[in-house]
Amino acid sequence: MINLSLVKKHIIDAATQFNRSPDTIHLLAVSKTRPIIDIVTAFKQGQTRFGESYLQEAIPKIHALRDYPLEWHYIGALQSNKTRLVAEHFDWIQSLGTLKHAQRLNDQRPQHLAPLNVCIQVNISAETQKSGVLLSDLPELIAAIKEMPRLQLRGLMALPAHTLDFNQQRVPFRAMYHAYQQLKTVNFDTLSMGMTNDMVAAIAEGATLVRIGTGIFGARIK
């Protein structure tokens, strides 16, 4: 069962609660581990943005659904041996965190495709096991990406340290929003943060895109 309408209602409710327009918050359906039929079902209910993390399953899905007007976001950890597949098959990458990977994506993006939309992943909680740049390193990476013609810099993405405490959830999201606002002169339009368990806190602090998997599709298929 797809709970897309329920998730959209939760987004509207959260936006209303925190004096935001629901139209300013986009939904990315995280479809990793989910079968094609679930994506088609969600599409028939109006969902067009989908997020994938595992290339070995994502590429066949993208090919199988190539006749559907879908927007594909790569949200998984990026490695050098994955950049070409991401550059060739996705519309967005939300997990870019190094200059080396940015250069590879730029060089490998096919000329017949539009520039690859990019969100820089920020390691907002400074966790050693997570990818992403520190806030202090953002300006240097942004300056470099702006010189790459096959990349279109769109904004920031974060995956903060896990907590179920609502007030604690808001703290790193607030820091992300502050950084996002400071960088608006870069023409950013996307602040990707918030998942099923912390979506409301992310919306409260200014998220423009939330990444929801379990809330839409149910428990992840192993």
54 to each of 57, 76, 124, 153, 211, how far by Cα in Å?
6, 7, 23, 23, 16
Distance CA 72, CA 43 (A): 13
Confidence (pLDDT) at 3: 92
Close Cβ partners of 122 (under 8 Å, ≥ 6 residues apart):
132, 133, 134, 135, 138, 156, 157, 158, 176, 179
The segments of the chain whose pLDDT lies below 50 read none
| Cβ(76)–Cβ(59) below 8 Å | no
Q: Tokens 């993405």 — which residue?
A: 157
Confidence (pLDDT) at 183: 85
Which token pair is 164?
């179920």
Distance CA 27, CA 129 (A): 27
Confidence (pLDDT) at 97: 94
Architecture of domain 4-217: Alpha-Beta Barrel (3.20)
Structure pTM? 0.96
Domain ranges in the chain are: 4-217
Distance CA 114, CA 11 (A): 30
Confidence (pLDDT) at 222: 58
Question: DSSP state, 80?
Answer: G
Confidence (pLDDT) at 127: 73
Confidence (pLDDT) at 153: 96
